[in-house]
């Protein structure tokens, strides 16, 4: 068998795909454990993660799908903030895992709430797992369908917290490493002290630094970071 290397489009450096192994849990160990358990097999009928933006909810959802893929099991990820129609949920009961992101977008839309409610029931029948993420706990969202609300509260509901300094630095450095970048600890601390501590924002920053470092063939020293991002 001859292997022809895959043709990588130059603008995609995607190596930082989410995985459970690389997830920096910090205070979110329980959420990680719940997700691992859901991937491993049917336990709780569903797992519902909630917390503010940028605490790693989407990361965990994507990583769970990846973990299923590596077990040879089908999974499906859908961010509900995107445009979607209830027909996209048809047949998903054959998945080992369905991951629904941005669940807060669902509350208040009767047709879509009903579609998710029916999916929930079908997954219960087949034994498939349902993993959900939202910015608020089930009781704080305005559901039209009490049937759905009660089912959401039935599963395991776990709160996710923002990472503390040490964990955030670890996550940032790990993320850099996966992109083949060396982010020295001082540079990491410099970034944490001056930029929004929101993980999405920090990872976007890393993306900019990565491109600049690649273009100029430089290492991520503080002076170089300053020159790219401007003085702060």
Q: Which residues bind to another protein, rule: CB under 8 A?
A: 1-4, 6-9, 12, 14, 17-18, 29-30, 33-34, 41-42, 44, 62, 65-66, 68-69, 71-79, 85, 87-92, 94-96, 99, 114, 118, 121, 125-128, 137, 139-140, 146-147, 149-151, 153-159
User: CB-wise, 121 or 227, nearer to another protein?
Assistant: 121
What is the spatial distance between Cα 156 and Cα 214, in angstroms, rounded to a whole number? 44
User: CB-wise, 118 or 198, nearer to another protein?
Assistant: 118
User: CB-wise, 128 or 188, nearer to another protein?
Assistant: 128
Buried residues in 102-112 as b, exposed as e (16+ CB within 10 A): bbbbbbebeeb
Least distance CB 205 / another protein (angstroms): 19
Cβ-contact 28, 162 below 8 angstroms = no
Least distance CB 189 / another protein (angstroms): 28
Least distance CB 220 / another protein (angstroms): 24
Cβ-contact 30, 59 below 8 angstroms = no
Least distance CB 91 / another protein (angstroms): 4
Dmax (CA) of the chain: 58
CB atoms within 10 A of CB 189: 14
What is the spatial distance between Cα 17 and Cα 206, in angstroms, rounded to a whole number? 14
User: CB-wise, 125 or 215, nearer to another protein?
Assistant: 125
CB atoms within 10 A of CB 73: 15
Least distance CB 157 / another protein (angstroms): 6
User: CB-wise, 131 or 191, nearer to another protein?
Assistant: 131
Token pair for residue 114? 């009903």
């Amino acid at each position: 068998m001859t292997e022809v290397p895959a043709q990588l489009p130059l603008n995609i450096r995607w190596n930082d795909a989410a995985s459970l192994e690389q997830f920096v849990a910090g205070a979110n160990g329980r959420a990680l454990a719940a997700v691992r358990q859901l991937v491993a097999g049917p336990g709780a009928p569903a797992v519902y993660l909630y917390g503010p933006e940028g605490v790693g909810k989407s990361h965990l959802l994507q990583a769970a799908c990846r973990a299923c893929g590596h077990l040879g099991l089908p999974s499906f990820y859908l961010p509900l903030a995107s445009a979607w129609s209830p027909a996209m949920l048809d047949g998903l009961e054959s998945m080992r895992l369905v991951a629904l992101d941005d669940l807060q977008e669902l509350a208040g839309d009767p047709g879509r709430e009903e579609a998710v409610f029916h999916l929930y029931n079908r997954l219960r029948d087949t034994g498939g797992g349902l993993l959900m993420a939202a910015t608020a706990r089930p009781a704080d969202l305005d559901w039209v369908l009490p049937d759905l609300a009660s089912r959401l509260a039935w599963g395991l509901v776990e709160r996710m917290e923002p990472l503390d300094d040490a964990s955030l630095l670890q996550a940032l450095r790990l993320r850099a490493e996966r992109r083949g970048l060396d982010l020295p600890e001082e540079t990491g601390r410099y970034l944490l002290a001056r930029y929004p501590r929101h993980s999405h924002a920090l990872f976007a920053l890393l993306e900019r630094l990565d491109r600049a470092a690649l273009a100029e063939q430089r290492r991520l020293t503080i002076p170089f970071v300053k020159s790219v991002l401007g003085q702060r």
